[in-house]
Chains A and B, each alone.
Chain A
Amino acid sequence: MRPVDPSEFAKGPTEGGSARVSEAVARALRARRGDAGAHRPRDPAPSRTAYRMNRLWLTPSVRFFLRRVAPVLAVAGCAAIWFASEENRRAFTDTYAAAKFEIQNRPEFMVKLMAIDGASEGLAEEIREVTSIDFPISSFSLDLQEQLSRVEELDAVESAGLRVRAGGILQVDVKERVPAVVWRGSNGLTLLDAEGHRVAALESRLDRPDLPLIAGEGAEREVAQAIRLLKAARPLENRLRGLVRVGERRWDLVLDRDQVIMLPEKNPLGALAQVIAMDQAKDLLERDATHVDLRRPDRPTLRLTEAAVSEMERLRAIEMGVSFR
């Protein structure tokens, strides 16, 4: 800021002789060496061009362009020129793919085997078959979501969890469906769980004699009610053959000797209790009736066998003293 710079002037005399003298000597030496003009102070004024360039550089838009936009453009341009050649493009994609493969197939990322928990022998086999993974496989190429949905699609699987455990193990946690009834449908025998979901097909009824049998169209949708009815029919257990869904709306309880208890659409449990009570009081089911009709619970109706009918008529005739013969 000082218009006059004191350092331009000579220093005062020093102890070891005048500084001005040494300056003069230095100037003489410089003159002898030939760079006489070097000591002359340079013109501090910028040249017209330098001044204009300086102003241009201080222009905000130019400054922004040169500092932000131009480098990006330069880099992008270089990249574009390099990628313009087919050979370079291929080399780049190959290198990229190789590097990706290299990293994904490191032993840290490999899954070596599958461990299945909570599934029976057959189901485990089935799961292995369905997932069809050939180990070892990189965990990057393992689509857990897809595999999980495949496992969950199996009928015998109620829910499943899938994760890659430490040590490269694919852990499958399965909750298996428990068969509750055997359903005789149009496609043969099927095992159903308590919610009516299919568990597996059954070859023969004798394979699972412990499970009750239900039949009829639409029976598989009302398995819960069927199980409640079967539980209520426990007093008749040793005579019980099964439940038949009639017209997709009501149940028939079938006993041996082709006896049928026709239950109403509404409140079948109450009707069944009524029948059991009648049986226990009057041995109703021991008698010679083919059907116990409770479709109208307030008016139970019996259908008798032909022999029983004729016998009843005979006895009634004796009672009345007439003969039909």
Chain B
Amino acid sequence: MTDLYDAQRAMRNMRKAALQRGVIAILDVGTSKIACLVLRFDGDSFTGGDGVGPLAGQSSFRVIGAATTRSRGVRFGEIEAMAETERAIRTAVQAAQKMAQTRVDHVIACFSGGQPRSYGLAGQVEVETDVVSEQDVARVLAASDVPDYGTHRDVLHAQPVNFALDHRSGLKDPRGQIGQDLAVDMHMLTVDSATIQNLLYAIKRCDLEVAGLASGAYVSGISALVEDEQELGAACVDMGGGATDVSIFMKKHMIFADSVRMGGDHVTSDIAMGLQIPLATAERIKTFYGGVVATGMDDREMIEIGGDSGDWDKDRRTVSRAELIGIIRPRVEEILEGVRDSLDAAGFEHLPSQQIVLTGGASQIPGLVTLAPKILGQNVRIGRPLRVQGLPQAATGAAFAASVGLCLFAAHPQDEWWDFEIPAERYPSRSLKRAVRWFKDNW
């Protein structure tokens, strides 16, 4: 566990170094596409003015290079063929570098695979003196009861969500407050170690330094949920190619994340199997003619599906749009039901706000706004990512929610467990602080 914390701390330092240099790349390794954005951080950030907040830090950077490429060797958001993925990452990074006309060495990556699991952690300690100090915060974080999440899993996020001092809860920053018992609620997200290791290895093979890792569910929630949704509580559903990420936000903190291992690619493969056509054609038909709500008109709209067999009859096949919708709709319903199950497991129905935001590439399917409320509840909207400076028009769609969220994550990361001080007891034995402490205790 300390190993991972060291790795996370090293990444944090790397991120700081990259910000110092001013150029950092973000890499969204998805199942259907790999997106790379190059960000330039220049000192003059907009600090907010009359009635305008500091915009969560997204005004301090500018996107100077953007590129996407078709993803290769990734399934369910996990790397399956290392060399292929490495090539795809190289393609994206090189194109983004070319657009930015600069070289990037540091990259912050996100992925949605690895079967993320959320844990709620609670810890409680007595405050040493009357006033809560940084050491007390460190101690309470260390005192939280870490569950046994398995040896093959790693902690990706561990964010203190809430501090409570005696009977006052909902504190953002307890330092300097007066009280006796300090308690913390923490949200911890673990993912499969092998997934992380594979991703790190693929990025390292591209001569890039990893300056941060984030869960796809988390970052798409940052960008697709607006500020009041994050504050009041909302769920973000990022419907990607191979996996659908679910994250629940409350008081601007992620309190739950999960992943449903189904996505747009499954719809495509359903079409390919159902209509006996190649995957590429199925993808094209899905994006051009796809939908989930059939009307009378759709029976008459015939789609040429063709084929490359050389057989005249097979190459002249047509289907009506209603048939196509008949293939797509069950799969989309299945995905949404998976999301519903995941939300139910998280206890989403007990939250005061029932807002659900659908985003991601698969959320662009027409008619989803009428289908989703039937499964997920009334408060559903389709979300697009926040606008950030310099983002090309082509990258403003819902498919880029995770990429844009990763930009915001790079500019303005939330405090994680490893960003706080290490409690004095855990310091190595020669630490000066420990010596001082010993003196304090004994005299």
A interface residues (Cβ-Cβ under 8 A, vs B):
1-4, 6, 8-10, 12-13, 20, 24, 43-46, 48, 51-52, 54-55, 58-60
Given A3-B69, A24-B310, A58-B97, residue A9 in contact with residue B280 (CB < 8 A): yes
A-B pairs with lowest CB-CB distance, top 7: A1-B394, A45-B87, A58-B103, A3-B33, A45-B91, A3-B70, A51-B90
| A-B contact sample (6 more), CB < 8 A, given A1-B67, A51-B90 | A6-B284, A13-B304, A45-B87, A46-B91, A55-B94, A58-B98
Given A1-B66, A51-B206, A58-B102, residue A9 in contact with residue B284 (CB < 8 A): yes
- For A43, the closest partner residue in chain B by CB is B87
Q: Is B306 an interface residue (CB 8 A)?
A: yes
Partner of A60, one of B87, B91, B102, B392: B102
Given A51-B206, A58-B103, residue A3 in contact with residue B32 (CB < 8 A): yes
A2 touches B103 (CB 8 A): no
Cα–Cα, bound, A170→B256 (Å): 100
Given A55-B97, A55-B207, A58-B103, residue A4 in contact with residue B280 (CB < 8 A): yes
A20 touches B69 (CB 8 A): no
Q: 26 A-B residue contacts at CB 8 Å? A: A2-B68, A4-B70, A4-B280, A4-B287, A6-B284, A8-B280, A9-B280, A9-B284, A20-B306, A20-B315, A44-B91, A45-B88, A46-B91, A51-B90, A51-B93, A51-B94, A51-B207, A52-B207, A54-B94, A54-B97, A55-B103, A55-B207, A58-B101, A59-B103, A60-B102, A60-B103
Q: Is B155 an interface residue (CB 8 A)?
A: no
Cα–Cα, bound, A51→B36 (Å): 15
- For A13, the closest partner residue in chain B by CB is B304
Q: Across the interface, which residues of B come within 8 angstroms of A4, CB to CB? A: 70, 280, 283-284, 287
Q: Is B193 an interface residue (CB 8 A)?
A: no
Q: Across the interface, which residues of A come within 8 angstroms of B71, CB to CB? A: 3
- The digit string for B88-110, where 1 denotes a CB below 8 A from any CB of A, is 10110110011001110000000
Cα–Cα, bound, A60→B100 (Å): 12
- For A4, the closest partner residue in chain B by CB is B283
Q: Is B281 an interface residue (CB 8 A)?
A: yes
Cα–Cα, bound, A269→B310 (Å): 137
CB distance from A47 to the nearest CB of B (A): 9
Q: Across the interface, which residues of B come within 8 angstroms of A6, CB to CB? A: 284
A45 touches B90 (CB 8 A): yes
CB distance from A10 to the nearest CB of B (A): 6
Q: Across the interface, which residues of B come within 8 angstroms of A9, CB to CB? A: 280-281, 284
CB distance from B110 to the nearest CB of A (A): 17
A12 touches B304 (CB 8 A): yes
- For A18, the closest partner residue in chain B by CB is B315
Q: Across the interface, which residues of A come within 8 angstroms of B98, CB to CB? A: 54, 58
- For A54, the closest partner residue in chain B by CB is B94
Q: Across the interface, which residues of B come within 8 angstroms of A12, CB to CB? A: 304
Cα–Cα, bound, A13→B281 (Å): 16
Q: Across the interface, which residues of B come within 8 angstroms of A24, CB to CB? A: 310
CB distance from A274 to the nearest CB of B (A): 94
B90 touches A46 (CB 8 A): yes
Q: Across the interface, which residues of A come within 8 angstroms of B284, CB to CB? A: 4, 6, 9
CB distance from B286 to the nearest CB of A (A): 10
Cα–Cα, bound, A156→B346 (Å): 117
- The digit string for B384-396, where 1 denotes a CB below 8 A from any CB of A, is 0000000010110
- For B206, the closest partner residue in chain A by CB is A51
Given A9-B284, A20-B315, A54-B97, residue A3 in contact with residue B90 (CB < 8 A): no
In B62-82, the 8 Å CB interface with A consists of 66-71
B90 touches A1 (CB 8 A): no
Cα–Cα, bound, A48→B32 (Å): 23
Q: Across the interface, which residues of A come within 8 angstroms of B395, CB to CB? A: 1
Cα–Cα, bound, A10→B309 (Å): 13
Partner of A3, one of B68, B103, B392: B68
Cα–Cα, bound, A46→B69 (Å): 12
Q: Across the interface, which residues of B come within 8 angstroms of A54, CB to CB? A: 94, 97-98
Cα–Cα, bound, A12→B315 (Å): 12
Cα–Cα, bound, A225→B112 (Å): 113
Q: Across the interface, which residues of B come within 8 angstroms of A60, CB to CB? A: 102-103
Q: Across the interface, which residues of A come within 8 angstroms of B102, CB to CB? A: 58, 60
Q: Across the interface, which residues of A come within 8 angstroms of B306, CB to CB? A: 10, 20
Q: Across the interface, which residues of B come within 8 angstroms of A58, CB to CB? A: 97-98, 101-103
Cα–Cα, bound, A27→B394 (Å): 33
CB distance from B103 to the nearest CB of A (A): 4
Q: Across the interface, which residues of B come within 8 angstroms of A13, CB to CB? A: 304
- For A28, the closest partner residue in chain B by CB is B310
CB distance from B240 to the nearest CB of A (A): 12
Interface-centre pick from A45, A46, A52, A59 (highest chain B CB count, 10 A):
A45
Q: Across the interface, which residues of A come within 8 angstroms of B206, CB to CB? A: 51
Q: Across the interface, which residues of A come within 8 angstroms of B68, CB to CB? A: 1-3
B394 touches A2 (CB 8 A): yes
Cα–Cα, bound, A52→B98 (Å): 13
Interface-centre pick from A3, A44, A54, A60 (highest chain B CB count, 10 A):
A3
Cα–Cα, bound, A55→B102 (Å): 8
CB distance from A11 to the nearest CB of B (A): 10
Q: Across the interface, which residues of B come within 8 angstroms of A46, CB to CB? A: 90-91, 94
Q: Across the interface, which residues of A come within 8 angstroms of B315, CB to CB? A: 20
Q: Across the interface, which residues of B come within 8 angstroms of A1, CB to CB? A: 66-68, 392, 394-395
Q: Across the interface, which residues of A come within 8 angstroms of B70, CB to CB? A: 3-4
Cα–Cα, bound, A220→B197 (Å): 108
CB distance from A86 to the nearest CB of B (A): 47
- The digit string for B165-206, where 1 denotes a CB below 8 A from any CB of A, is 000000000000000000000000000000000000000001
Q: Across the interface, which residues of B come within 8 angstroms of A44, CB to CB? A: 69, 91
